[in-house]
C-alpha cells in the first residue's frame, strides 16, 4: 500500500495545478461506471483465480484505488438501485428481482439525473433492471441515451424479445433503444461495449457519464465458441491453496458452468480493454473517473477466495465484491483501502469528485469515499450496514445480516427466534465465517440484534415499500405499454407458468384502449378473456384457438388499481405471457 502521506500530497498537488493560469476550473471529469452481473469476487486474476484470464481488468486493478472490503446487496436489482441513488434499496421501492418488486420509484434521483443537472451527457448500455415502463425507465431517470434489455436478464421471461430465442438469446438480440425495439448484430457484451464506446466518442468534447452495465456472466450461460474453447478442458475445482478452495465441493454441473462463466468473463475483459484503449486514443484517460465493480456474488459454486456463500446469501461470499476506482488526474493508483465501503457510497463519491449537488429532501445512506482516497483518517468502525434477501418482501430474520466493525451478525431464523439461533462472526479473525461466536459473546449478539431490528423496521416502512411504484398507462412518453412478467405481482414466483394468478399495479390515464394479450401458447377456443381493473370488468368470448387475443375500444377511467388479465376455460384461469396496451385516438 502506498503511504497515506504520499497519497495526500499528490492529491493536494493535483488539485492546485488542475486549475489553469487564468484561474478557471477545468472541465468536469468524465465518469465511466462499469458493472458486471453475477461475477463474484473470485472471478478475476487479480483476486487469485489461477484459471480465469483477465489481463485488462487486472491491469486496471493495478492502476486503481482498490477497495478490498466493498459490499453490495445479495442480488442484482437491490444493488443497482442502491448504486444509482446512494440509498438502501427498500427506500427506493426495490424489494425483489421480480414479483413486481424491481420497479424503482420515479421520485428517486439517480447518478444520471445528478450529473445531467451539471451538464453531463448520460448513457446506459446493458442492464437496468429498475423498471421497464414509464416512469421508471432509464430515459425517465436521467439517461439521454439508453440501449438496454428488459427485466433481470436476456433470455428471461421479462425480456420477451429474447426469451423465445432460447439457447441463442445472447446473440443478435432485439434491444430497447430509447424505448423502441431495435435489432442488433453480434454477441450481447460486444454490442453493449461497442455502443458505450460509440457514446464516448460522440461526447468526447463534453463531460459524460457512461454506465456500462454488462448482463454477463448472468445465466443463461451463452458465449461465443472462440472464448469457450479456451476453457473447455480446465478443471476449475483444483489448483487452490486449501484455505481458499470453494467452500462447498463443486459438482460436475458447477464445473461446466464455471468454464462458461470464465469464457464470458474473458469476453468482458477484452471489451474493457477496448474501452481503455479508446480512452487513450481520445486522450480522455487522465480526466476520466473509471469505476469497476460487480453486483453480487456468483450464482454457481466456484472459486471465491475461500469465502462462504454465493449470490442470494448474506454471507460474505454473496455480498463482497471488488471496487476499483481510477482517476489519474487526482489520485495515485496501486493503492489498497481496507476500510469497509458499500454500493451506496458510489453516488456521494461521484458527487464530490464531480462537484455535483447530492439530491435534497431524502436520506442518503452512503458516504463519500474521497476522504479515504485522500489518505485522511476517518472512523467508520461503528457504521452499521444492513443486508437481506428473501423473495417478494423481506422476511424477519430470514437471510438477514448486520455488519458493524469487525463483527457480522447473520440470521437464518424464525421471526421469534431466540438469540442462540443467530450467528456471530469476527470478519478480521475469521474472514471465511466458519467460527460462530454467538455463544461466546451473547451481549454482542443482543446489541447487534437491536440495531438489526431498528434498521429492518425503518426500511420496511419506507414510503416506496408501503406504496408500490406504479406503471403509468396511456402517457404520451410511452404510447404503447408492454406489461411483462418480471413486473407482475400476485402469486409468488411468477415465471413462465400458464395457470397462475398475476397482476400489475398501474396508473391509467382515461381513454379508449386496444389491449393485446400474448399467451405462452395458443389457448383453446370456447373460453372467456377477462380484464379486471379496480371495479371495472371487461369480458370477451373467444371462438378460435390463438396465442394472441385482442380487446378493442376498452374504455378506461383515470384510476390507480391492479390490472388483472386472464383467460378462463374449463375451470382454469390462464395468465398472459405479456400484455400490450395502447391508447387509441377518439
Q: Please report the pLDDT score of residue 127 as a whole number.
A: 98
Q: Buried (b) or exposed (e) across 321-359, using 16+ Cβ within 10 A?
A: bbbbbbbbbbbbbebebebbbbbbbbbbbbbebbebebb
Cβ count near 103 (within 10 Å): 30
CATH classification of the domain holding 540 = 2.60.120.260
The reply to whether 177 and 126 lie within a common domain is: yes
The reply to whether 350 and 413 lie within a common domain is: no
345 contacts 11 by C-beta, under 8 angstroms: no
Q: Please report the pLDDT score of residue 150 as a whole number.
A: 98
71 contacts 295 by C-beta, under 8 angstroms: no
* CA pair distance 277, 10, nearest whole angstrom: 25
Q: 380 lies in a domain?
A: no
Q: Which of 313, 347, 373 is the last residue of a domain?
A: 373
The reply to whether 139 and 233 lie within a common domain is: yes
Q: Please report the pLDDT score of residue 446 as a whole number.
A: 98
Q: Please report the pLDDT score of residue 381 as a whole number.
A: 84
Q: 532 lies in a domain?
A: yes
pTM, 2 dp: 0.95
Q: How many domains does the chain have?
A: 3
Kindly state the cell numbers that stand for 326: 481510477
Q: 6 lies in a domain?
A: no
Q: 161 lies in a domain?
A: yes
The reply to whether 513 and 461 lie within a common domain is: no
296 contacts 35 by C-beta, under 8 angstroms: no
Residues contacting 459, CB < 8 A, separation 6+: 88, 90, 91, 386, 394, 465
The reply to whether 538 and 476 lie within a common domain is: yes
520 contacts 185 by C-beta, under 8 angstroms: no
The reply to whether 306 and 434 lie within a common domain is: no
258 contacts 236 by C-beta, under 8 angstroms: yes
Q: Please report the pLDDT score of residue 8 as a whole number.
A: 44
Kindly state the cell numbers that stand for 309: 456463500
207 contacts 28 by C-beta, under 8 angstroms: yes
Burial of 178 (0-12, 13-18, 19+ CB in 10 A): middle
- The segments of the chain whose pLDDT lies below 50 read 1-25
Structural domain boundaries, residue 500: 471-584
Q: 260 lies in a domain?
A: yes
153 contacts 170 by C-beta, under 8 angstroms: no
The reply to whether 460 and 395 lie within a common domain is: yes
Q: Please report the pLDDT score of residue 121 as a whole number.
A: 98
Could you identify the residue written with the cell 466493525? 405
* CA pair distance 468, 465, nearest whole angstrom: 6
The reply to whether 195 and 304 lie within a common domain is: yes
285 contacts 21 by C-beta, under 8 angstroms: no
Q: Please report the pLDDT score of residue 586 as a whole number.
A: 63
CATH classification of the domain holding 451 = 3.30.1120.10
529 contacts 551 by C-beta, under 8 angstroms: yes
The DSSP string of 391-448 is SSS--TTEEEEEEETTEEEEEES-TT--GGGEEEEETTT-TT-----TTT-HHHHHHH
244 contacts 275 by C-beta, under 8 angstroms: no
Q: Please report the pLDDT score of residue 27 as a whole number.
A: 83
Q: 243 lies in a domain?
A: yes
The reply to whether 456 and 489 lie within a common domain is: no
Q: Which of 466, 484, 515 is the last residue of a domain?
A: 466
Q: Please report the pLDDT score of residue 292 as a whole number.
A: 99
Q: Which of 345, 373, 401 is the last residue of a domain?
A: 373
476 Rama sector, left if φ>0, alpha if ψ -120 to 50, beta otherwise? alpha
Q: 22 lies in a domain?
A: no
Amino acid at each position: 500500500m502506498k503511504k497515506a502521506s504520499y497519497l495526500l500530497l499528490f492529491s493536494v498537488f493535483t488539485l492546485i495545478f488542475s486549475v489553469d493560469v487564468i484561474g478557471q476550473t477545468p472541465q468536469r471529469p468524465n465518469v465511466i461506471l462499469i458493472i458486471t452481473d453475477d461475477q463474484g469476487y473470485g472471478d478475476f486474476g487479480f483476486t487469485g483465480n489461477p484459471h480465469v484470464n483477465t489481463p485488462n481488468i487486472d491491469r486496471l486493478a493495478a492502476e486503481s484505488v482498490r477497495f478490498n472490503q466493498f459490499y453490495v446487496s445479495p442480488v442484482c436489482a437491490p444493488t443497482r438501485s442502491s448504486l444509482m441513488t446512494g440509498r438502501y434499496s427498500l427506500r427506493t421501492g426495490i424489494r425483489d428481482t421480480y414479483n413486481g418488486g424491481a420497479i424503482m420509484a420515479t421520485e428517486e434521483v439517480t447518478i444520471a439525473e445528478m450529473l445531467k443537472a451539471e451538464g453531463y451527457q448520460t448513457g446506459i448500455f446493458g442492464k437496468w433492471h429498475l423498471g421497464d415502463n414509464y416512469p421508471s425507465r432509464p430515459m425517465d431517470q436521467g439517461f439521454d441515451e439508453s440501449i438496454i434489455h428488459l427485466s433481470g436478464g436476456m433470455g428471461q421471461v421479462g425480456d420477451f424479445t429474447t426469451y423465445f430465442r432460447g439457447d441463442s438469446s445472447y446473440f443478435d438480440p432485439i434491444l430497447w433503444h430509447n424505448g423502441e425495439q431495435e435489432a442488433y448484430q453480434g454477441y450481447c457484451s460486444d454490442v453493449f461495449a461497442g455502443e458505450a464506446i460509440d457514446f464516448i466518442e460522440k461526447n468526447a468534447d463534453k463531460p459524460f457519464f457512461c454506465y456500462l452495465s454488462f448482463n454477463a456472466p448472468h445465466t443463461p450461460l451463452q458465449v461465443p465458441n472462440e472464448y469457450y474453447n479456451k476453457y473447455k478442458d480446465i478443471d476449475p475445482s483444483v489448483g487452490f491453496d486449501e484455505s481458499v478452495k470453494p467452500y462447498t465441493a463443486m459438482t460436475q454441473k458447477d464445473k461446466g458452468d464455471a468454464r462458461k462463466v470464465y469464457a464470458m468473463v474473458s469476453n468482458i475483459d477484452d471489451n474493457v480493454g477496448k474501452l481503455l484503449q479508446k480512452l487513450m486514443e481520445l486522450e480522455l484517460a487522465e480526466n476520466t473517473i473509471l469505476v469497476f465493480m460487480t453486483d453480487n456474488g456468483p450464482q454457481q459454486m466456484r472459486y471465491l477466495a475461500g469465502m462462504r456463500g454465493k449470490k442470494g446469501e448474506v454471507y460474505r461470499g454473496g455480498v463482497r465484491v471488488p471496487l476499483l476506482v481510477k482517476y489519474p488526474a487526482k489520485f495515485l493508483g496501486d493503492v489498497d483501502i481496507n476500510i469497509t465501503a458499500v454500493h451506496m457510497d458510489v453516488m456521494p463519491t461521484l458527487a464530490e469528485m464531480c462537484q455535483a449537488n447530492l439530491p435534497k429532501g431524502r436520506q442518503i445512506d452512503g458516504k463519500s469515499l474521497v476522504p479515504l482516497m485522500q489518505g485522511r483518517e476517518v472512523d467508520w468502525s461503528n457504521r452499521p450496514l444492513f443486508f437481506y434477501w428473501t423473495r417478494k418482501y423481506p422476511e424477519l430474520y430470514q437471510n438477514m445480516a448486520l455488519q458493524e466493525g469487525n463483527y457480522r451478525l447473520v440470521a437464518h431464523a424464525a421471526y421469534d427466534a431466540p438469540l442462540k439461533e443467530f450467528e456471530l462472526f469476527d470478519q478480521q479473525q475469521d474472514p471465511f465465517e466458519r467460527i460462530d461466536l454467538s455463544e461466546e459473546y451473547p451481549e454482542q449478539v443482543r446489541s447487534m440484534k437491536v440495531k438489526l431490528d431498528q434498521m429492518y423496521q425503518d426500511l420496511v416502512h419506507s414510503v416506496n415499500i408501503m406504496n408500490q411504484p406504479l406503471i403509468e398507462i396511456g402517457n404520451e412518453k410511452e404510447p404503447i405499454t408492454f406489461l411483462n412478467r418480471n413486473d407482475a405481482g400476485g402469486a409468488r414466483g411468477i415465471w413462465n407458468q400458464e395457470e397462475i394468478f398475476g397482476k400489475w399495479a398501474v396508473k391509467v390515464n382515461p381513454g379508449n384502449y386496444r389491449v393485446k394479450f400474448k399467451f405462452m401458447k395458443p389457448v383453446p377456443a370456447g373460453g372467456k378473456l377477462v380484464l379486471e381493473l379496480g371495479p371495472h370488468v371487461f369480458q370477451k368470448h373467444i371462438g378460435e384457438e390463438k396465442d394472441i387475443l385482442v380487446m378493442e375500444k376498452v374504455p378506461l377511467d383515470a384510476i390507480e388499481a391492479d390490472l388483472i388479465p386472464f383467460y378462463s376455460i374449463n375451470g382454469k384461469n390462464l395468465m398472459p405471457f405479456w400484455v400490450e396496451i395502447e391508447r387509441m385516438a377518439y
